Each structure stands twice: as C-alpha cells, then as structure tokens.
Amino acid sequence: MLRIFAHKSKCGVPSFAIGFQLVVANLLLLTQSFEAVLEFIQFGLTLCSFFTVLGVIVLRFTKPAHPRPYRTRGYPATPIIFLSVTFLMMGYLLINRPVQSLAGVLVMLAGLIVDAIAQYYPAVPAAQKATTIK
C-alpha cells in the first residue's frame, strides 16, 4: 500500500517520498502562514523527540546487553532533564494552543492507522498470488 514511498532512485534517495513531502509542505505554506504551519507541527515534533529519548532509557532497562555504539553524556541525568523540559513544553502547547496541538496528534494517529492497515493487509506480489490460490 505504501510501497511507492519506498522506491529509491539510482543514488538510493527515496525521491517519490521526498517529492510527496515537498508537495504537502508547499500546500500547507500556500494555504496558511508560516507561523500557523509551525504551530501545527510543533507538538508532533516535540512528542516524537520525547518518545525517542524515552526509548533510550527504556532500552537500557529492557536490553541491557544490547550494543551501544553511541553513549549519552551525563546519562541518566541528561535524558531525564530533556524529558522534563520537553514534557513541560508539551503541557504549555496543550494549554496555549490546544487546537493546533490536537490537530498534530490527529495527523500522527492517522499515520499510525494507515501503517497498521498496511501491516495488516501486506501487499502480495502477483506471482506469489498465483502460487497460493491453488
């Protein structure tokens, strides 16, 4: 279902996915002000950063023997401080810009739903369909 976005050019660049993002970003900028677009994506980006750093801490507990090619300076204080500040920022955004924040969350949820549907109904190549119908 989403395979078209995975197509890469000869240089290994996901050109269709980048082109699609370019079109969406331009549509947003042509229909809204730059500030409105930033307000729309700000909560989602902050939420993604929060979960990324939280994932570092969770992996330390769930997979302690997993190789760590990169060490976090000041661990665990640095990620905990980052999570605290990011949490406060998300709270501020929810209180002062609830519509924009929730709209960003809804877009992210829509993406998760599309991904879940794509995972549930995986694309089966035509050659494989011919062999499995028997």
DSSP secondary structure string, 48-94? HHHHHHHHHHHHHHH-TTS--SSPPTTTTHHHHHHHHHHHHHHHHHH
Classified as helix, coil or strand, 113 is helix
Q: Supply the Cα-derived Rg of the chain in whole angstroms.
A: 20
Give how far the C-alpha of residue 85 lies from the chain's centroid of Cα atoms, to the nearest Å: 20
Residue 83 exposure: Cα atoms within 13 Å on the Cβ side = 14
What predicted TM-score, i.e. pTM, was given to this entire model?
0.69
- First and final CA of the chain: distance in angstroms? 25
Tens of pLDDT, residue by residue over 54-104, are 998 898 889 988 888 778 888 889 999 999 999 999 999 999 999 989 988
Tens of pLDDT, residue by residue over 10-50, are 888 888 888 888 898 888 788 878 788 888 889 989 999 99
